[in-house]
């Protein structure tokens, strides 16, 4: 029991040191793309894609656009 109380009083782990804003934006982009199917066309996780993407180039462009949006969000959070 005493060990359990010590764990509850311990400080939460610190964020990973040295992570750049671009790395955080990339993780956010990957999460959004995987959970929503962003850029693939059709729907995923209950959300419609903003536009139907048919070619690999269009899919890559959609992901780059999403990454730029994520970078903007991370920078605003400073």
In this prediction the pTM is: 0.61
Domain residue spans of the chain = 19-76
- Determine if residue 20 is left, alpha or beta; phi over 0 gives left, psi from -120 to 50 gives alpha, anything else beta: beta
Higher pLDDT, 9 or 74: 74
Q: Confirm if 72 and 29 have CB atoms less than 8 A apart.
A: no
Task: Give the pLDDT confidence score for residue 42 in this predicted structure.
Answer: 57
Label the pairing between strands 47-48 and 43-44: antiparallel
Q: Any residues with CB less than 8 A from the CB of 27 and at least 6 apart, and which?
A: none
**SS3 label, residue 17:** coil
pLDDT tens per residue, range 21-66: 999 999 999 999 999 988 776 554 555 555 565 788 988 999 999 9
């Amino acid at each position: 029991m005493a060990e359990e109380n010590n764990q509850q009083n311990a400080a939460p782990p610190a964020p990973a040191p040295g992570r750049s804003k671009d790395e955080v934006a990339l993780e956010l982009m990957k999460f959004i793309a995987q959970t929503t199917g962003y850029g693939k066309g059709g729907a995923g996780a209950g959300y419609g894609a903003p536009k139907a993407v048919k070619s690999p180039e269009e899919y890559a462009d959609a992901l780059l656009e999403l990454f730029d949006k994520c970078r903007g969000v991370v920078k605003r959070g400073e």
